[in-house]
Structure 1
Amino acid sequence: MHIIEKRRKLEALCDRIEMVRLRFLLLKAQVEMAALKGRLLSMASCPHSTAACPFREEKSGEIEQELAALDEELAFLTDLNQTMDYVSDEKLARLRLIAKRQYLDNGVRQPVLTEDELENLAIRQGNVTGAELSLMREHAAISRKLLAAIPFTRKLARVPAIAGGHHEKLNGKGYPLGLKGEEIPLQTRILAIADIYDALTAHDRPYKAPLRKEEALQILDGMAQNGEIAGELLAVFKRI
């Protein structure tokens, strides 16, 4: 699956939350089996009076609480897998606590979450990891390299630099070259605004819903105020 088609944090060839769900079902079954085994052993130790057996109702209550806790944890992981919102420190702490749970796989203890699943679920905001984001950002450099191999006429000679720099920011915090201010061609600054607007309002992005025009322009206004894009060019863009 291509990264830009990733709609959930655990999505790869399939949504791996289903694998997590199966592990939790197995863990619940193992809790119930252990409880049943304990009850049988308890009954065997006092065959003449089950009322006097050490396995009492409060023990059953503890098991029900444990099963309910597992259901709540799975629901939490499912929600975390789907959300694109900012994940708080409190939620990350709970995630890492859940990740310490183990189940038995052919007699061998295994974590309910693999390291990769934990890394993906721990994404602060959005649904891509740092490594995936770096890979996504390579497209700007690749575009520049591919375009540079084309024998453009003298009039179009700057196309590779213009197109390849559409993710540069005026404050120098863009990529791939970290250009700033006047180092960024005018055409690139124009293209950057159009590209951001298109990305915000596009209907073909599986990882997010399209924003309304007003919402997209509000974000662009914020970027202009932060010195990322040219405010004067944005003003012209709004009039088009």
Structure 2
Amino acid sequence: MMVDEAIQSSAEPFAHFTMNDDERYEFHLAAWLHDCGKITSPEHVVDKAVKLETIYNRIHEIRTRFEVLHRDTEIRCLKRQLAGESSRQAETDRDLEQEELQEAFRAVANANTGGEFMSEDDIEHIRQIGQRTWVRHFSDRLGLSGDERQVLTDTPEQALPATEPLIADKPSHLRSWGEHKPPVTKDDPRNRWGFDMTLPEHAVNQGELHNLTVAKGTLTPEERFRINDHIVQTICMLDALPLPDRLANVPHLAGTHHERMDGQGYPCRLNADNMGIPERIMAVADIFEALTAVDRPYKEGKTLTESLAIMQRMVNDGHIDRAVFQLFVRSGIYRRYAEQHLRPEQIDTVNEERFLT
């Protein structure tokens, strides 16, 4: 829809823009294939709705530890009463401790949702809660998979009973890249595609504090890289296909929708000078679809006005192209798309002039 509108437009920079049949088909294939690399992205990362989520939500493990501490306070109260201390004072102390535990768990559970930006004070509060200790009486080496045992090879087993932090980052939470290190850094001799990305030290970091103290959203830097890596995989997969010459540009077109006008995108840090109108269109279309999508567990689909407001900020921040965005609004494509694909409650009345001035 956007390519058709750009071809018909007489305004700059579209006045001389055109595509022949081969170029249109090439763009059509690239549009369909632009996210094919996501088949390599772990589903639990792509759909990560809360910070402690892996294959399941690990908040349940932490809740169980809080339950242990809750019962410990009950036991201490009973022991004090059996020893002849004041029953009222023992029960008062128990009630205060249990209320503190309830408040602490609420803070941890709230942090887990990733709903709002976490301040430094909030992050420090979670770290302080994590320093509380609990006592484990059962071995943590029984019933493990081969991979889990391998990770613990160099970690001595603690004598039981073992005192542990309530919330922890452990060596067992880390996974190295090993032989699966992707060729995304500029100095990697395998990198023949021009990728320019920062590779995290570890492939996986499931540390509980590491995840809970993510300041924005639910993804750690390691998971964010795994998400971003889908575009690397898209380019590598498409580049490996025996495409005819008339479709040779498919990998490039499919692989640039996360680049930015200011050169701060990925995977190659291209800027406006390196991207033509088709690449700029791909980015705008991809972002609008993502903002309005309703099938993603980590977000709700936004209204038209909300989506366009976010995109306008992205224009001002040097993320997407201003002319393409304004063509998108002025042509009414956003509303035609919405009538075909969005829910009625998402289709609100848009003040287009707000986004065209």
Structure 1 length-normalised TM: 0.91
Q: Which residue among 79, 84, 89 is the counterpart of 1:37?
A: 79
Task: State whether residues 44 and 53 of structure 2, in contact with CA within 8 Å, keep that contact through their aligned partners in structure 1.
Answer: no
Distance 1:181 1:199 in 2: 22
Say yes or no: does 1:185 pair with 2:276: yes
Kindly tell me: are residues 180 and 226 of structure 1, through their superposed partners in 2, closer, same or farther at Cα, counting changes over 3 Å? same
Q: Secondary structure of the equivalent of 1:178?
A: coil
Q: Secondary structure of the equivalent of 2:135?
A: strand
Equivalent residues in 2 for 1:13-92 (5 A)?
13-41=55-83, 43=84, 54-55=85-86, 57-92=88-123
Determine the structure 2 residue equivalent to 1:12.
54
Distance 1:5 1:219 in 2: 22
Number of aligned residue pairs: 229
Determine the structure 2 residue equivalent to 1:170.
261
Q: Secondary structure of the equivalent of 2:296?
A: coil
Determine the structure 2 residue equivalent to 1:214.
305
Distance 1:90 1:218 in 2: 30
Task: State whether residues 288 and 307 of structure 2, in contact with CA within 8 Å, keep that contact through their aligned partners in structure 1.
Answer: yes
Determine the structure 1 residue equivalent to 2:215.
124
Say yes or no: does 1:110 pair with 2:141: no
For residues 154-203 of structure 1, give each alpha carbon's deviation from its aligned partner in whole angstroms, at most 9, with x where no partner exists: 23211111111110001011000111111123211110000011111111
Task: State whether residues 132 and 166 of structure 2, in contact with CA within 8 Å, keep that contact through their aligned partners in structure 1.
Answer: yes
Runs of at least 5 residues in structure 2 that lack an aligned partner in the other structure: 1-42, 138-160, 170-206, 334-357
Displacement of 1:56 in angstroms is 5.7
Displacement of 1:35 in angstroms is 2.2
Greater RCO (Cα-Cα under 8 Å, separation 6 or more): 2
Say yes or no: does 1:203 pair with 2:294: yes
Determine the structure 2 residue equivalent to 1:136.
227
User: CA RMSD, aligned part only?
Assistant: 1.3
Structure 2 length-normalised TM: 0.62
Q: Secondary structure of the equivalent of 2:222?
A: helix
Higher helix residue share = 1
- Matched AA of 1:197: F
Percent identical residues: 31
- Matched AA of 1:21: R
Say yes or no: does 1:101 pair with 2:155: no
- Matched AA of 1:108: A
Distance 1:3 1:108 in 2: 32
Distance 1:62 1:38 in 2: 11
Task: State whether residues 162 and 185 of structure 1, in contact with CA within 8 Å, keep that contact through their aligned partners in structure 2.
Answer: no
Distance 2:245 2:56 in 1: 48
For residues 59-114 of structure 1, give each alpha carbon's deviation from its aligned partner in whole angstroms, at most 9, with x where no partner exists: 43222111100011111111111132101112111101100011111121111112
Question: Which has the higher mean CA deviation after the structures are superposed, 4-13 or 169-178?
Answer: 4-13
Runs of at least 5 residues in structure 1 that lack an aligned partner in the other structure: 44-53
Distance 1:30 1:63 in 2: 9
Displacement of 1:144 in angstroms is 0.8
- Matched AA of 2:95: E
Task: State whether residues 27 and 103 of structure 1, in contact with CA within 8 Å, keep that contact through their aligned partners in structure 2.
Answer: yes
Say yes or no: does 1:148 pair with 2:202: no
